[in-house]
Structure 1
């Protein structure tokens, strides 16, 4: 981790893990991917199935939760290593 990355993470981590996971994982991955796949469904099949939208939202919200959680812990570990090495 460089000094610039450490400063950016220092600022980002002040929002807390919950908000980080919400704004950097759950919402972007959940809503973004559900919207993308629903759009692809519309473009390729010219249909829209609401039940599939709800399933996609549920699945991708969970995916976003795990991705952001893993990312938080990885960045915290890098930051801790960087801080102790300095």
Structure 2
């Protein structure tokens, strides 16, 4: 891992896992992907079905949780490899 990546990870790790998941997973994925799909829907159909907006927010927030959790685990394993197992 490069020193710059290491510094960024240390700053993000100080936030704590829960806050990291919210700031780098749930909020950006939930809002960003829901907004993007709503824009695509508007461009394609020239209307927006408001019933789908909360569903999109929930689905993409759920996906964002798992993406951020995977990134957290990957960075932790890269930065701090797990302790060796005892026989």
Q: Give the TM-score normalised by the residue count of structure 2.
A: 0.88
2:78 corresponds to 1:78: yes
Structure-to-structure mapping, 1:3-82, within 5 angstroms: 3-81=3-81
Could you list the structure 1 runs, at least 4 aligned residues long, displaced by more than 4 angstroms after superposition. none
Q: Which has the higher helix share?
A: 1
Structure 2: give runs of 5+ residues left out of the alignment.
Answer: 82-87
**1:8 Cα shift?**
1.4
Q: Number of residues paired by the alignment?
A: 81
Q: Give the TM-score normalised by the residue count of structure 1.
A: 0.89
Structure 1: give runs of 5+ residues left out of the alignment.
Answer: 82-86
